[in-house]
Structure 1
Amino acid sequence: MTKTIKWGILSSAKIAENSMVPAIHSASNSELHAVASASGKAAETAASWKAETSYDSYEALLQDETIDAVYIPLPNALHKEWAIKAMHHGKHVLLEKPAAVTSEDIQEIREAGKETGMTWMEAFMYQFHPQHAFVKEQISQNVIGDVRRIRASFSFNLDLDSSNIRLDPELGGGSLYDVGCYCVHVSRFLLDAEPTHVFSDGRYKDGVDISSTALLTFDEADAVLDCSFQESPLNRYEVVGTKGRIEVPFAFRPDQNPNDGLGEVFVKGEDGAVTKHETFAADQFTLQIEHFSQCLLDGTAPSYTPESTHNNMKVIEALYTSQQQSSM
């Protein structure tokens, strides 16, 4: 019985090159078999990424029967099409976030998974980092009392005059889709709940939100979220309780922490003094690949479910609807 999963990658996207390719190579149960690129440089990319073979079309890669699973980092609007095609070719799918641009699209992906028997998961890599398990442990042990508020931010500076796909409404561009989705996800993840009401507003350029602010109301807590393409880099969250707070300064990209790329968690008491400071060394991309690959080898379901992916997109859709309704 095979002990490793053979991976294929659809496209030569930077997220694949910088993060997922090294993760596959470092994972104990995975190997990079092939890459497909429509740019005409598939062979060059495969050599650079140390993949065994290359294909000049996505369809050709999907026809390779030796590939067990594919990672899809295509533009957001193309996720549904190629995820469904991949599963109908007998491939399991790790789908870059957001899994699609509407909840209806995600439901179609879910149905394809059920029809084909293939496993798929949205690639919210951050949740596999051990710093978040520590945070959830502190919450469950009532260290900060009852959680009343979550604040989450994810932003960076993007050239708004560039041809970046994040700025193309036809390809699923927008800050809420790109980085705000993490803020939505972490609020649901930490509270183990779904919001009952949402409100959002955004700043737009050429049909996409370049900044968004949102309020999610849960039964016992609120989440205040913000994301942007026009602010200095920030990726953090704070959990506020009745007896203290927890701060995670590099929540979604701990590798950007100047302190050796460590995950860090600060627990503070009511007086604001730090009562615990823990650091965590881990590669969340590798942990994600190892988790998904092991699920395929064991025939078990990933910890992050299609249902949760569907629910995350329903919240994002509601936030965009709120923005449309709030515009003058």
Structure 2
Amino acid sequence: MATKVRWGILSTAQIAQAELLPAFMDASNAEVVAIASSNNKVNDIASKFGIPTIYGNYKELLEDPNIDAVYIPLPNALHSTWVKKAAEKGKHVFCEKPAALTEKQAEEMIEVCKKNNVMFMEAFMYQFHPQHKRVKEIIASGEIGDVKIMRVSLSFFLGDETQNIRMNQKLGGGSLYDVGCYCIHSIRNILHAEPNRVFASTQTDPNSQVDMSVTGIIELDNGVTAVFDAAMDRTRVGQYELIGTKGSIQVPRAFTPQIFNGEGQIVVIGENGDHRVEHTYGHQYTLEVEYFSGCVLKGEIPEHLMENTIRNMSAIDACIESIDKETLVNVPTRHSKITK
């Protein structure tokens, strides 16, 4: 029985170089056996990370019978095409977020994965850090009472990078797709609830017409309200806060604990202002790779993760509709059950 999943990487994307390739190297049950790119940097990257095989294009890599699964960090608009191509070649698929540009795209690509009996997971790495499980435990204990509102902020400063793919509408650029997707996912994940209605607004770049920031309000099916802001034109912030009837929880390192060597931080504040700080540790990218690789080795398709992708895209679709119509928008109800 195999003990490691053999991975292929499509492209030399920065996220692969900075976070995922080191994570693959650290993972106990994964190994990268090939990388594909026409970029001249591919040889240096393969040498740096000890990748034995280089392909000049993605199709050649997908034809390799020695590859079990692929990681796809391509521009957002290309995800759907290459997820389908990989699935049709029998490769399990680990795809960067957002997995698609619409709910319909997400449904179609996941259907192709199911038809070809391969697993699919969208790369929301933050959810694998243990701090979020601990937050859910604190909520369930009743310590902060009933949660009434959740606030999420995620931003970074892109600067004057007009050639960056995030500034290209045709490639699926913009703050909602790039960082807003995390905000929406974390709201649904932490509160274990789904949006009923959303309202969103943006500020756009006058030249590219890409949304540089987005602010949203989400009314959830459990009665909780959530507020989020995501931006590419502000200093780095990545945090969420839950406010209940008896106290609150602040998670200041919600999305990028790797900046602090994997240390998460949870601040629990009581009614009288008393507080405590809890620390949790974990390398979320490595944990993410190990989780999905474990699913592949066990042959257990994570159905709830596929459904999660579709539901997150449904909420993003509703935000886009709200932005266009400048009004509250209902989010369609999906009846399949998610077990988180």
TM range (shorter): over 0.9
Looking at structure 1, the residues matched to 111 and 303 of structure 2 have their Cα atoms a distance apart, in angstroms, of 19
Question: Partner letter of residue 245 of structure 1?
Answer: S
Q: Spell out, residue by residue over 1:103-153, the C-alpha distance to the aligned partner (whole angstroms, 9 max, x if none).
A: 111011111011100001000000000000000001111111111100000
The residue type equivalent to 2:319 in the other structure is L
CA apart distance, 1:161: 4.6
Q: Does 1:164 align with 2:125?
A: no
Inter-partner Cα distance in structure 2 for 1:40 and 1:160: 25
Q: Distance in 2 between matches of 1:204 and 1:156?
A: 16
State the partner residue of 2:338: none
Q: 1 CA distance for matches of 2:235 and 2:209?
A: 22
Report the identity percentage: 46
Please state if 1:216 is matched with 2:218. Answer: yes
* Contact 2:155–2:231 under 8 Å retained in 1: yes
Aligned to 1:207: 209
Q: Matched residues in 1 for 2:42 and 2:64: separation?
A: 15
- How many angstroms apart in 1 are the aligned matches of 2:64 and 2:39? 19
> Contact 1:43–1:53 at 8 Å: present in 2 too?
no
Which SS does the other structure have where 2:237 is aligned?
strand
Mapped to 2, the partners of 1:129 and 1:82 lie a distance apart of 28
1:234 aligns with 2:218: no
Unaligned runs of 5+ in 2: 328-340
The answer (yes or no) to whether the contact 1:249–1:265 under 8 Å persists in 2 is: yes
Moved more, 46-55 or 14-23: 46-55
- Tell me the CA shift for residue 320 of structure 1: 1.1
Unpaired runs of 5+ residues, structure 1, are none
Once superposed, what is the RMSD of the aligned Cα atoms? Answer: 1.3
2:335 counterpart residue number: none
Cα separation, 2, equivalents of 1:294 and 1:167 = 36
Mapping 1:178-197, distance limit 5 Å: 178-197=178-197
Q: Which residue of 1 aligns with 2:129?
A: 129
TM-score by length of 2: 0.93
Counterparts of 1:76 and 1:156 in 2: how far apart (Å)? 18
Mapping of residues 38-117 of structure 1, within 5 Å: 38-117=38-117
Asked if 1 retains the 8 angstrom alpha-carbon contact of 2:238 and 2:253, the reply is yes
Q: Contact (CA 8 Å) 2:262, 2:284: kept in 1 or not? A: no
Equivalent-residue separation in structure 2 for 1:106 and 1:160 (angstroms): 31
**Aligned equivalent of 2:151:** 151
In structure 2, how many angstroms separate the alpha carbons of the residues matched to 1:216 and 1:157?
A: 25
Letter in 1 for 2:219: T
Deviation at 1:46, TM superposition (A): 1.2
SS in 2 for 1:135: helix
Stretches (4+) displaced over 3 A: none
Query: How does 1:8-47 map onto structure 2 within 5 Å?
Result: 8-47=8-47
Checking the alignment, whether the CA contact within 8 Å between 2:147 and 2:224 is kept in structure 1 is: yes
SS in 2 for 1:196: strand
Deviation string 1:42-75 (CA, Å, 9 cap, x unpaired) is 3332112211111010001101110000000000
Letter aligned with residue 235 of structure 2: S
